[in-house]
Structure 1
């Protein structure tokens, strides 16, 4: 009887001890974080980029798949480019032809610019020579006319014979013919000068032709650039260094413009989006230190900083655990990881965060 009572007493003591321990551990968990630390939780997210093509086409090569790391400007999808390459060659040939035409037109213009001034100078010299010849012809005509008149008078008095008078008359007739010829020569010289000066208009017309051919060359160059741009856009490149998280297409599929092909997440720019209660948000400011804990690495906290604080409150999102919490007003806060060693963390992982808003408070792991 005494032994049975002793066993009952022992079990009672053990029960009290276990109950005390459980109470103590539960009290420790529910005690909350020290003043200076704020506890929050959420899921890891990252800057997500959905890659698409600007043009329709058939997927020729798929150069990246889920889980592949890609660097910035790396080609990840290549569409069929045979038709575009043919258009590119056509545009290149058109540009070469336009360049040849422009070179020939410029050469002709250069020759004209040298020839026309020479023709004008020559024509002016001819005019000057004709004017001088006309003046000489006028002088000879005037003198021979005087001589013929004087010989006629002398013939009447018998001072000279008739032959001398006839020779004077003949000289006057020749001088008048030379005068008419000199006048005609001067007129022709002026016409040649006017014709030579029209060369300036020819230069102007040739300049306009060069400008038109130059415009054609620019148009051909623009067509070549456009074809090259389309060809470049048929290669879809990663906008940032990151990891492919989603692949939507396979090789051989025909895609439409803007259709999503791959999703790339920058694993070096991950952040934990948490929701802080309205009564706690006043303690936070940008740049505060934080530590992030995950179930995958429970003993490895990851350093982070507060980089974003929402300016407006909202009701707690539905994914938060309890209905009571979902009716509270909270503020979204983003905690950007300082680093992601070996890219261990990926978007979608649930995580807890401890934010230190008061300097000097020792860090403690999260306690819910």
Structure 2
């Protein structure tokens, strides 16, 4: 968790209403810090106010910035302000962080046929409109050249199944193979297999409402149902990078050059095994589009806000506590853990009966 910078970004310092909104965040952060220094428990309040402050720094659209500023300045008291921060914690950060990377990724069917040529494999396996994770992975592998888009390692199963690819890897000792996974930018659990009236649908609706207020009105339709598997929302990754990406530990930053990104992370060590820059390519820009820069920008903003505000660290702690704990504290110390667990179950589609 990192304290809010003393000022807004330089490009915003001549916009009085934005500065005023940010000063409201700074004031409450200072008040909460004073309470903490006195030994008082402020719970998630510090995280919630820092989420709002860091959104002013990193929200990826002008409409999103306007929305956050308007929401801050319209709050009548600190309680209302913290509730706005909590809403973004629940329905922006958790939308990317909760449950992603914690469920085993489906693999291709064991009886997949073998091919002599890469072109033959492409013709036989490309799916026009992917309806499932497996179909999305097939298309992503074709677009990404059967390699992880970050490390360049070839998909181990594809090397086994395509003789031409096998010969290529054998011919160059510098080439490596590894199991790869189909990684979604927006989690496939967010918007697929949602029953009408379910808690999962209510959760998704609130998350999409946040995206709409940020100026991304088309996102709910673009990623509705099985459309979450569209190529713009997926990429081929090795498991290690996939986990880092899903846990908001690493993100893609545009360079100004089309489809070229710089990798950034929560700490330098995370980037040790990865290249500084990643360029997305495709053999067919029309039918096999590269990952969406809009989706990646939303993910990057979320990752930075989650890391700096302390939200990501708190979510990680909850996951550890949920895995390690077997009973609830009778004195109420586990109340927040229980609240978090209930939220996760509702987001996953379970109905909670009290």
TM-score between the two structures when normalised by the length of structure 2: 0.24
Q: Which structure's CA Rg is the greater one?
A: 1
TM-score between the two structures when normalised by the length of structure 1: 0.23
Kindly indicate which of the two structures has a greater share of residues assigned to strand.
1
Higher relative contact order at CA 8 Å, sep ≥6: structure 1 or structure 2?
A: 1
